[in-house]
Structure 1
Amino acid sequence: MVLFGTQELPCSPFRITVAPAHDSSKVRAEGPGISRTGVQCGCPTHFTVQTRGAGKAPLDVQFGGTAQSGVSDLQIIDNGDYSHTVKYTAMRQGELSVGVTYGGDPIPKSPFPVTVAPPLQLDKVAVQGLNSKVPVGSPQSFSVLSSGAGGQGSVSVLCSGPGRRSVPVSVDAAGPGLHRARFTAAEEGQLRLDVSYDGHPVPGSPFVVDAVMPPDPSKVHAFGPGLHGGVAGSPATFTISTRGAGAGALGLTVEGPREAELECHDNGDGSCSVRYVPPEPGDYSLNILFAGTHVPGSPFRAAVRPRFDATKVRAEGPGLRGGRVGQSAAFAVDCRDAGEAELNIEIRHELGNRPEVRIHDNGDGTYGITYTPARAGAYTVTICYGGVTVPQFPACVTVEPDIDLSAINVYGAGVEPRGE
């Protein structure tokens, strides 16, 4: 009631509503220190309290729960902009209740339940099953092991491909201390995987993976003389090219009368050189597999010949003893006991010219040899087998001039018949 002198003023008494000096419902708190999984034992943490529009009142923080006795270093800092920063360190793992009051009244959502996690030990986090090469379009997975690593146990994986394009990755908990990450490379190129545990890079991160095209055995090319045969006891070689065939394991086996030594050398250019030594003559089977599948032409059949011995080659015939100009001369060469090799024969006149030599393979390890000398004189005959000169050669053969007896006439008293 308002009086002027002794009289009450019009509209008196006046009704006035008195509001409280503060309103805790308008206070907001946020930050890792009040996050359900944001606090780690022994590590300082914090959160922020916003009081704008809530009036003036004292801010207070209380702790409860099984881990309350381990809270230390509590600080409430007035930032001077209607906000406060609250800092504390939880020294005991377990459940913690963080109560925030403003002017003695609890703010919204207070008290905040917090789980204090064990101390973080990143050296106990390991990545397993991540291949250095993965095929494009094929789902891949790997594991993150974190048993005994402490912390909140949060695992995240970020993957970027060529051109820093993001590659989707799913991460799922697969058991205590175990997470499974899955991804699929969409294009060929290099991938980068950043693996973190509770926001910290794990040992070895980032990981680099090459995404390659899926294996295509039809694009593998094998070539070389060793695929088709060789000589017993001598190295046989061939080459395998996997360029453009994608990623895949290369498998080689040699099957035959006896086990053959096998060596493979990576040339570093998408090809490899293969060397094997067949110990015995016979048919060998060369199996070449790429990504578990036979490549074109595999298995290859290699016919291995016996090792040759030029000392067991024999040659004989009239053509080695002499001849006449213009008349065909012949002799035979027997290689049946010498193994398989290439037979080469050269016949040369003393003045350098060489008559044509015809070699007829009889199909049984023997050969028929013919030549026709064009001029008289001494000829040198050289026989080589497998590049080795056979015994008793080179040999010298004398060719006589051609004589036509029909053109010779004999006459005179000494050859005339006497009369009786």
Structure 2
Amino acid sequence: PAVPGIYTVKVCYAGEHVKGSPFIVQVQPANNNLKIADMRLSGIKSDVTALQGEDLIFWIEMPDTRVRLKPLVRALDEKYEEVPIQVVETKSGQYECRFVPLALGRYYFLLSVGGVAIPGSPFVVVVREIIDPSKIRIYGIGIGPNIHANRLVSFVIDPQKVGTVKRFDSKLHHENGTPVNVALIDNGDETLIASYTPHEAGLHKLALYYDDMELLKMNINVKPIDISSIVIDGLNNETVVIGHREDIVIDIGDLMSMKNGVEVIVEEANGSKYMVPLENGYDSTIFKGSWIAKNVGKTKFSVFFDEYLVYESQIIVRRKQDATKCRVTGDGLRRGIVGIPANFQVDMKDAGGDRMKMAIKGPSESKTNIIDHSDGLCTVEYTAQTPGLYEISIFFGDNEEEIPGSPFMVLVDYEYDPSKILITGYNNGHVRAGVPTSFLIDATRTAIEPISVRFPIGFQQPFIEEIESRIYRVTFTPNARAGEILPLEVLYGGQLLYGRPWEFTVEQDEREFIALKNDSGILPHEVRASLRCELLVEGKKAEKISNIKAEIKVRFFLFFFF
């Protein structure tokens, strides 16, 4: 406005006045001492975040104390309704503004002096709920201590009903500032899986956020590449004949290459060196190659991963053929699952024959099938019916000589299936305070994994014992008050069984329902000797009267007179 006076302000939308329009505005004469641009404002800015129920405090300072105008501070909620805000002049020209948000949402702060808006007004403040970081659980391999570079790891974020899962975020940085991508997956059960692959060894900083609010920080120490996890099939220290083909299979697991990846260097007996060509499929962690024995003598093999030496072996090449030239490959010689066919392959191409015999010994008879491919290769398929340790013996040739590695010891187990675990004796979760209780955990129909149980910190921990193979008895004595609920976590292979704790409700001890009285209703403290005394045992509220037993103990006192 150019001059003071009364103005009419019309605000229209689509040609129609909005509610309250036209507005009457009184413009005051200019105050040369009032310089709005010089106002000092601290503690507030646009798009700031505040917490529900906590004070939001900011200050306004008038640069010229000659201006005796008090700033006008108004707060509006997201419905544009005014909410209370306290403004106190702490000293001349300085004002403290205090606001306590009681509801979540967006608030608008309108600041002005003498009818002139302070630059930046209105200020937008978003109020969010208070999150208690102490209630959030973070656990899993991904937070240490055994984390190695170039290996995918993960951890679980369990907010335990604190906040909304989708509003959580996690960031990871190397101590040199390099960020590491953290992928979050919603498990659908109010928990998150956070996965990441650190590319460098050293100290990392992990932070957990709720929206833009930092909840917690932790240090994660990443160790150098763990090359011990690389699995190499082939290149054993062995003796072969000329023409022998050595198939090489290298599985790097979840390692990620940052340099040259997998390399196999061959040094022949004549001193020549070369690299074995390796192939791997798209997005595959398995590298395959082959080597053919051509020179008699000792051949050295060196396997590298990103220039780290992983494995060395030596193969002796000779012309004589025998059973030691047979090779076997396949998962069926390492492990098996009850009721599911397992197989392996016997390679007799370089052994000088194609006759073989096999025997399997174990806890039960296994269904076996041998397929002869008529090219020196045989595929063996067997199905174990019960878990346990099986001995597989393989014989070659007319003399039935055992091939290298025979007999093979194979551990057969059930498939990992937590749903097959049976809990009995649970009594619908009702226990009595101070009375020992127990129940059974039957894990005989799933893979063998550690079974453990635990109460929250502060409660007496339960005792678990294996009474039979894979059958466990859990015993504990509730030390809580009647009506209190004890959450018991049953862990199978380190994971919470059924995704939730078992809840036990503590009931009152029946002994508290038993009372001793006489005819007058009062328990006598003394009786006379040789006279009949009757006591009443009242147990109306007790469930099992037959459990009540009475026992009278007599104390004798000796008096000595001198």
TMscore range, shorter length: 0.3 to 0.5
Structure having the higher Rg: 1
Which structure has more relative contact order (CA 8 Å, sep 6+)? It is 1
TM-score (norm 1): 0.41
